[in-house]
């Protein structure tokens, strides 16, 4: 750790401790087996005392985790006091099937949905079904016809890879809000400037709704690099050099450096007026919990 900081003396800044606690929210994915289920619920129990605004649960490619997503969301709603949020996509389902899932969530007490177009399994290009929702705008409109859901949608600070242009991408985001979305949660990014420039472009387009920065705290450096490459996320040169220097280091060193890097990212955002953070937890509590503490968020008994 000392070597890393010595070689990167300006990489880490002091954590942000504002006058008031920031708003936070967490994202999980449904567990695949008993061991993963145990890890997930240990993380939920550890993070719940931080009193997030909500906890969301993802929906696998092509709806592959539909039942596990529902089971996880309803358990969060049943066993915690934190609002539970279900992800829902347009992939491999008709409008009637998706509407039935949404009604089921409403009947189960779930009032907030993350509405996404989604991606097919195997990296295939999305093709709307003739009887399905064609995109997130149509999905938001459909959900609003069913019940007065609170709806979050996705946004892309570095532009969706299938968008015609950055301007077209923001115009499509505006259409999601016009259809009834409440807020947008950004794809993760690795440079504060990327999000801040995006925030400025969104405001210039006349969008006044909340834009939550998606934060990816992970000690899996090689995994983070793969995710960034697959999502078209730019890796800043300094961070890239740091990642290379960590490749053969001890996991505990990677975890400490990862926390320092992500804390620095959040601190930069906070100094620019960002007071809400959405953490992609990867079903692990350690780094996310520490980051929330550094941001000034204290647990409640």
Task: Compute the 3-state secondary structure of the chain and give helix, strand, coil in percent, each to the nearest 5.
Answer: 50, 15, 40
Residue 16, pLDDT > 80, answer no
**What confidence category does residue 62 fall into, taking pLDDT thresholds of 50, 70 and 90?**
low
Q: Rounded distance, CA 288 to CA 56, Å? A: 15
Residue 291, pLDDT > 60, answer yes
Position 159 scores a pLDDT of 96
81 Cβ neighbours under 8 A, 6+ residues apart: 48
- The burial class, CB within 10 Å (0-12 / 13-18 / 19+), for 147 is middle
**What confidence category does residue 104 fall into, taking pLDDT thresholds of 50, 70 and 90?**
very high
Which helix (H) or strand (E) element contains residue 277? Answer: strand 276-280
**What confidence category does residue 11 fall into, taking pLDDT thresholds of 50, 70 and 90?**
very low
Overall average pLDDT of the 49-75 stretch: 88
Q: Among 37-51, 210-224, 283-297, where is mean pLDDT lowest?
A: 210-224
Q: Rounded distance, CA 74 to CA 84, Å? A: 7
Q: Rounded distance, CA 169 to CA 65, Å? A: 28
**What confidence category does residue 154 fall into, taking pLDDT thresholds of 50, 70 and 90?**
very high
Sign of the torsion angle spanned by Cα atoms 31, 116, 265, 45: negative
To the nearest whole percent, how much of the chain has pLDDT over 70?
91
Model-level pTM? 0.90
- Cβ 26 vs Cβ 288: under 8 Å: yes
Position 122 scores a pLDDT of 66
Position 123 scores a pLDDT of 65
Question: Considering only CA atoms, which of 178, 186, 164 is closest in space to residue 206?
Answer: 178
Overall average pLDDT of the 119-133 stretch: 81
pLDDT for 246-270, tens place per residue? Answer: 877 788 888 888 888 999 999 999 9
Residue 294, pLDDT > 50, answer yes
Overall average pLDDT of the 287-299 stretch: 90
Position 74 scores a pLDDT of 95
Higher pLDDT, 246 or 205: 205
Question: Considering only CA atoms, which of 290, 301, 295 is closest in space to residue 43?
Answer: 290
pLDDT for 167-180, tens place per residue? Answer: 999 999 999 999 99
Active site residues: 27
């Amino acid at each position: 750790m000392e070597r890393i900081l010595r070689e990167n003396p300006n990489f880490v800044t002091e954590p942000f401790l504002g006058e008031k606690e920031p708003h936070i929210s967490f994202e999980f994915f449904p567990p695949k087996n008993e061991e993963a289920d145990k890890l997930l619920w240990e993380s939920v129990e550890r993070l719940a005392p931080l009193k997030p605004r909500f906890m969301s649960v993802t929906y696998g490619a092509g709806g592959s985790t539909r039942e596990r997503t529902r089971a996880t969301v309803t358990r969060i709603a049943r066993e915690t006091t934190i609002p539970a949020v279900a992800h829902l996509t347009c992939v491999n389902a008709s409008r009637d099937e998706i509407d039935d899932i949404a009604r089921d969530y409403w009947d189960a007490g779930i009032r907030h949905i993350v509405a996404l177009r989604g991606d097919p399994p195997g990296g295939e290009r999305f093709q709307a079904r003739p009887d399905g929702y064609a995109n997130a705008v149509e999905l938001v409109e459909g959900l609003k016809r069913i019940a007065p859901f609170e709806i979050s949608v996705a946004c892309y600070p570095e532009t969706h890879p299938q968008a015609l242009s950055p301007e077209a991408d923001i115009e499509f985001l505006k259409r999601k809000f016009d259809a009834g979305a409440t807020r947008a949660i950004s794809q993760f990014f690795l440079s504060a400037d990327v999000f801040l420039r995006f925030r400025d472009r969104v405001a210039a387009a006349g969008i006044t709704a909340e834009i939550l920065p998606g934060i990816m705290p992970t000690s899996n450096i090689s995994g983070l690099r793969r995710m960034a490459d697959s999502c078209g996320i730019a890796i800043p040169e300094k961070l890239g050099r740091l990642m290379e220097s960590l490749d053969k280091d001890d996991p505990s060193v990677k975890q400490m450096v990862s926390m320092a890097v992500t804390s620095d990212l959040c601190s930069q955002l906070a100094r620019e007026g960002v007071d809400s953070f959405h953490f992609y937890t990867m079903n692990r509590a350690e780094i996310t919990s520490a980051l929330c503490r550094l941001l000034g968020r204290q647990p409640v008994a």
